[in-house]
Chain A
Amino acid sequence: MEAYRPIIILVCVGIYLVMCIGVGLWAMTRTKSTRDFFMAGRHLGIMVTSVAVFSSTMSGFGFVGGPGLVYKMGISSLWMVVCTSIGYSLTFFLLAKRLRLFAELRDSVSLPDAVMARYNSSTSSCLTAVAILLGVMGYLATQILAMATVLQSILAGIEWIGEIPLEASVAISCLVLVFYCVTGGIIASVYTDLVQGFVMMFAAGLVFVAAMLAVDGGFEGMSRTLVADDPEAISPWGTLGIIGGLSWYFLFTLGGCGQPHVITKLMMTRDVGEARHMLPMTILGYTVSALLWIGIGLAMRAVVLQGLHPELTKADDAAPAFLQSYAHPLLAGIVFAGLLAAIMSTADSFLNIGAAAVVHDIPRAIRGRSLQHELFWARTATVIIAVIAAGFALYSGERFVALLGAFGWGTFAAAIVPTVAIGFNWKRATPLAANVAILSSLFVNFAVKVLGMLTGFTIPFGIHEGAVALIVSLTLFFAISLMSTPQKIDEDIEAVMEM
């Protein structure tokens, strides 16, 4: 069996990719309008939405970066995991009902549409769309790079294929992604998310067991090894320390309500009442998937400390190294498919909201109306965005990708949490406050990143710049709203906000 490991992995990944193409073809028959392309006709049921919400949140970062961070920093990165129960509670309390009702009332097909309905401001809507587009480009470039790197490492294991250039790997992986995103729009995206979510949960559950078996004494053995080496690494704060760890907790808890690729799914549900069942299911799905993050990270740190495994070349190798050394070939195949699933389930959502920003939101904010033949242009924009993001990923250099990466989770959080999560629940919030919050989120995230690159500046105690940007934008949002003249809200929107 071991001799066929690369082939088994390739077959598992191949089956998964073919499944994605199949879902794309099936979804194409159900995509007749822009509303279908961006909102899945607002017909998503409980299971599909729950899985789509958690699998869009758990990107490739969760399956590669997460275990790498636990290997590197111990418990610190688990603050991004333990925040799930409170984070999703905030998302559902604040947004599940409001977003869905706004979407139905105004036939909204995107988040900026809902912002327009709430604030009656094309500037707020346009700024939201621009923030989304910048974030999409940054996130998508890193996701495409991760997807291509994974595929490249899988293919490298096959003798008759050997090492292929990164460009070819980007082309192959993007082709599948773009195919199902273009043909089936968000319908293909959420139904592939469904498959991807189950693959991720199944893979994570099995890996967690494998991780416990890999170290003598199971979890307690790992724990005692880590304590013997450095007690702080296995303390609740990890090596990062209490203040840095809690800044991650803040950013990832509250920031969840500001991730457009996640919260847009709440606009697509069949019925508002179903949110009641979705919340626990979403948390359960994410928690099970996160077992991989915890299991591999702790196990790899322990086996390296015990001298049972050579030191990794880089922390992000934790997951691939574990799969190569400690997982059954079939399990490794499923997990590699799960890894691609985690990356693609996030990337497809970004492609969709990015296309909506380009062909729907920005033209509407500037010209007051959408493009003609919107469905055609939405498909075209999906291809163009993927090509540009792939270009950034391949040719812009690490520094530029890192800069783009700054427009990721932190920017979405600081821009969208005040404007959408708070503003949709607080009638006193004003468009001016929303605009300032969005601009401040872009400025703070970008400025800290640039300052860091130029002068080596960091915020003390490892406080995440995204957390600072979120605190600043929320403070400005509340202060400006309370100080400025209240704006008139449309009667129907006001009535929905009172529910």
Chain B
Amino acid sequence: MKTPLILLCLLVAMCGVVVASFVTEEAPTGRGVTHSTFETMDEGGPASRHTHSVLTLGWIFGMLQVALFVGFLTLAARRDARGLIRALILSGVAYAEVFTITVFVYQQNVATAEAEFIGSFPAATTWMLFGLWPVPFLFVVVYVVGFRRWVWSPDDRERFEQILAARKAQPEAPQ
């Protein structure tokens, strides 16, 4: 019961973010405007459109999402699979850290008004593409490595065969 209650609280907080977006001041270029030269493109304009309050609201929105995703993953885990739940939470912490770094690096760039490059992209974009994209692969590793132990064990298979056999033995099993 604890996990669903936590999830409900997270969801209510997300509703709060949506409500907060209605009362937070949005810059004229807040969601992009038509490019000054090319009509079929948009431009974001000055990075100052991401004021401190907008960035904070965005960071909260992102962190709530990470928490919600990890919460949903744990909802799928058996209650006795503590190792799985621990692995998911630890992976979630790494995920949240990378997201925070992405926002932080972007904020630094806004403050210095110049784009620092890492590889081929501005630093914050590099964190998004090469950090935030692959880091949830930790969950995939947990799934693949822990599959037989926590997701579908030989005992589960045997138990399911029994349930199936019992159901087939019922004279008029409802479909």
Contact = CB atoms under 8 A, between A and B. Distances in A.
A279 B69 CA distance: 17
Contacts of B44: 74, 230-233, 235, 237-241
B21 interface: yes
B127 A241 contact: no
Contacts of B42: 72-74, 233, 239-240
B24 interface: yes
Nearest to B57: A243
Contact of A243 (B21, B72, B143, B147): B21
Contacts of B115: 227, 231, 234
Given A71-B41, A482-B8, A495-B163, A461 B21 contact: yes
A236 B140 contact: no
A19 B144 CA distance: 34
Contacts of A479: 8
Contacts of A231: 44, 47, 109, 115, 122
Contacts of A92: 143
A172 interface: no
B90 interface: no
Contact of B26 (A235, A428, A461, A481): A461
Interface string A64-75: 000000011111
Interface string B118-144: 011110110111001111110110011
B54 A242 contact: yes
B30 A461 contact: yes
Interface string A457-472: 0011111000010011
Given A90-B73, A246-B61, A460-B21, A499 B11 contact: no
Interface in A245-290: 246-247, 249-250, 253-254, 272-273, 275-277, 279-280, 283
Interface residues of A, number: 95
B40 A499 contact: no
Interface in B144-175: 144, 147-148, 151-152, 156-157, 159-160, 163-164, 166-167, 174-175
A93 B73 contact: yes
A428 B61 CA distance: 27
Contacts of B86: none
A449 interface: no
A154 to B, nearest CB: 23
B4 A428 contact: yes
B31 A240 contact: yes
Contact of A82 (B1, B128, B151): B128
Contact of A236 (B12, B30, B72, B102): B102
Interface string B72-113: 110111100000000000000001000000110010010000
Given A250-B65, A273-B152, A93 B76 contact: yes
* Chain B binding surface, main DSSP class: helix
Contact of B125 (A75, A93, A314, A499): A75
B131 to A, nearest CB: 10
A24 interface: no
A428 B136 CA distance: 28
B18 A468 contact: yes
Interface residues of B, number: 85
Interface string A88-122: 11101110011001001111000001000000000
A372 interface: no
Nearest to A429: B4
A243 B8 contact: no
Given A82-B133, A223-B122, A492 B167 contact: yes
A236 B125 contact: yes
Contacts of A223: 117, 120-122, 125
A235 B41 contact: no
Interface string A200-244: 000000000000000000111011000101111111111111111
Nearest to A273: B152
Contact of A279 (B15, B143, B164): B143
B137 A85 contact: yes
Contact of B78 (A315, A475, A499): A499
Given A107-B175, A219-B120, A499 B160 contact: yes
A474 B13 CA distance: 12
A428 B5 CA distance: 11
B167 A499 contact: no
14 contacts: A85-B134, A92-B143, A93-B139, A218-B120, A223-B125, A231-B47, A236-B127, A239-B31, A304-B38, A461-B31, A472-B15, A478-B8, A496-B163, A499-B156
B102 to A, nearest CB: 6
A242 B55 contact: yes
Contacts of B65: 246, 249-250, 253
A209 B83 CA distance: 42
The 6 A-B pairs at the shortest CB distance, nearest first, are namely A232-B44, A239-B32, A242-B58, A462-B31, A86-B136, A219-B120
Nearest to A85: B136
A312 interface: yes
A235 B47 contact: yes
B128 to A, nearest CB: 4
A16 B149 CA distance: 43
Given A240-B31, A243-B21, 18 more contacts: A239-B31, A239-B32, A241-B30, A242-B58, A243-B57, A253-B65, A254-B68, A254-B72, A313-B40, A459-B21, A460-B30, A461-B24, A463-B21, A478-B7, A478-B11, A481-B4, A495-B163, A499-B152
